[in-house]
Structure 1
Amino acid sequence: MTSGINVSKTDLHEQVLAIFREPANVESEHGVHIDEIVKRFKLPEKNIRDAIDYNVDIGHIYSTIHDFHYKSAFTD
């Protein structure tokens, strides 16, 4: 789990992406629900959503079955 203290936006973007790139999450058909990501961090949900939106905008993750499930665009 990640502490909310002194986490820069860039670090958070990378840490959120790392969760989506975990092997179990890459293999998941529907990806990861945003609530699962929020639970891993001691930060406001908005910060996590902003990090997810950033990764979506640059093409690293995408939504799957609805706007609450996301999956890594990377297959490794």
Structure 2
Amino acid sequence: MRPTQFILNASKKKPGVGVPVELTPLFFAMGVAIASGCWFTYKKFAYDTSLRVGRTNPDRSGLKEVLESAEKSESSEK
């Protein structure tokens, strides 16, 4: 009877990770939420012109206006 019991127990075990079927919708919803969060964050950083991350745009820096106002204030003091 020993070999029969061993074969019976081996057939009951399934290979792989045992994830309950009830958790599948939860995993799906979390995957969609994480994917959409990554997508919208990427869109914000890549295409928003008001953010200054990475390469700087010299036209939007405002340095030119600051230097011009400093020159005007120096020339008006003389």
Give the TM-score, by structure 2 length.
Answer: 0.23
Which protein is richer in helix relative to its size?
Answer: 2
Which protein is richer in strand relative to its size?
Answer: 1
- Bigger relative contact order, structure 1 or 2, given CA contacts below 8 A and separation 6+? 1
Give the TM-score, by structure 1 length.
Answer: 0.23
